[in-house]
Amino acid sequence: MDTVDKKILFNLLKDGRTPQRQIAKTIGISAQTLNYRMSKMLEDKIIKGFFVHVNSRMYGKVDGYASYLSDSELSIGYFSKLKCLEKITLYGFEADSDAQLDELIDKASAQLGNPVMKYKPVISSYSGNSKSIDFQIIDQLRMTPRAKLSEIAKSIEIPAMRVKRRYNFLRKSHLIAVMAKIDLSKTDVVIFSLFSQDQERIEPILEDSTIFKIADNKSGIFICFAENMVTAKGIMNSAREAEKESDVMVIYDYEFVR
């Protein structure tokens, strides 16, 4: 896997709906070359597909995260799982209330032991003036994550400009994200998570490598990409110089159930 393939993966991990022509322009290759390389990675199952991650706020729920040093499989429900080389697994949980979320994390801790890290982002809820169009868009994206917005508009019989405005709002508000599922065992790229208790200080350092984040005004979990371990180590060292207490874990597999 060369640098061009890695740049393609980075763009698709950051936003799985990035148009191929835009990726080609960003990387500096022809659209035909990009199409060939993407088709080859899909054929080789390096890119296993695309999926939609929907923020718990969309459903009036709260979410939280806990990581455990355990090889055991968790038997209770979770919506995300990041498996790390340090034998740590980071789980995402959601519930109807903070009390229920605490109870869910306690149940996970009863199975896996005391958590290495716990994090409950303090984020405002999704507006009570939510529009049914938002959920229609999400339903369409679940079926075809990379569908053109014009195609979605036609399917739900809503003007294309309105669909575009609502989709852009959902994405910029971190309420939805279309992500690529990559078989990391077939690449030599590095994906790592970093938990910071001072996200405003860390965010500028990680800006060019972040593909996904969960953060409030204080703390945050950043999922980052590097083309190789040397580059990853440099990013990690810079982050730790800014915040010595930041926790870093190298991810070798990830799963989003919803």
The whole-number pLDDT of residue 258 equals 67
pLDDT tens-place string over residues 91-128? 999 999 999 999 999 999 999 999 999 999 887 777 65
Arithmetic mean of pLDDT, 80-96? 93
Do 186 and 208 fall into the same domain? yes
- pLDDT for the residue numbered 47: 97
Closest CA to 92 of 103, 106, 82: 82
Q: Do 157 and 192 belong together in one domain?
A: no
pLDDT at 127: 63
pLDDT at 129: 58
For residue 256, is it within any domain? no
What is the reported pLDDT for 82? Answer: 94
pLDDT of residue 128: 52
Closest alpha carbon to 69 in 47, 86, 91: 86
Domain identity same for 185 and 233: yes
Radius of gyration for the alpha carbons in the chain, expressed in angstroms and rounded:
19
| CATH number for position 88 | 3.30.70
Between CA 118 and CA 250 the distance in angstroms is 17
Does residue 32 sit in the same domain as residue 61?
no
Per-residue pLDDT of 140-180, as tens digits, reads 999 999 999 999 999 999 999 999 999 999 998 888 999 99
For residues 156 and 188, state if they share a domain. Answer: no
The total domain count for the chain is 4
Q: Which two tokens stand for residue 184?
A: 């990391």
Orientation of helix 132-143 relative to helix 149-156, angle to 10°: 120
Quote the pLDDT of residue 130.
Answer: 62
What pLDDT sits at residue 176?
A: 93
Say yes or no: 111 and 66 in one domain: yes
Contact status, residue 80 vs residue 255, Cβ threshold 8 Å: yes
Short-list 221, 252, 224, 257, CA closest to 53: 257
Q: Supply the pTM of this predicted model.
A: 0.90
Q: What is the pLDDT of residue 75?
A: 86
For residue 184, give the DSSP letter: G
What are the tens digits of pLDDT across the range 10-67? 999 999 999 999 999 999 999 999 999 999 999 999 999 999 999 988 888 999 999 9
Please, which residues bridge with residue 247 across strands?
Answer: 195
Structure tokens at 73: 């499989």
In a domain, 127, yes or no: no
Report the CATH number at residue 160. 1.10.10
Structural domain contains residue 198:
yes
> Cα–Cα distance between 142 and 85 in angstroms, integer?
30
- The residue segments making up the domain with residue 158 are 132-174
What does the DSSP 8-state code read for residue 217?
A: S
**pLDDT tens sequence across 217-241:** 889 999 999 999 999 999 999 999 9
Q: Which residues of 78-105 are buried (b: 16+ CB within 10 A; e: fewer)?
A: bbbbbbbeeebbbbbbbbeeeeebeebb
| 124 part of a folded domain | no
Q: 191 and 223 in one domain?
A: yes
The answer, yes or no, to whether residue 131 has pLDDT greater than 90, is no
Structure tokens belonging to residue 94: 């959601």
Whether 185 and 247 map to the same domain: the answer is yes
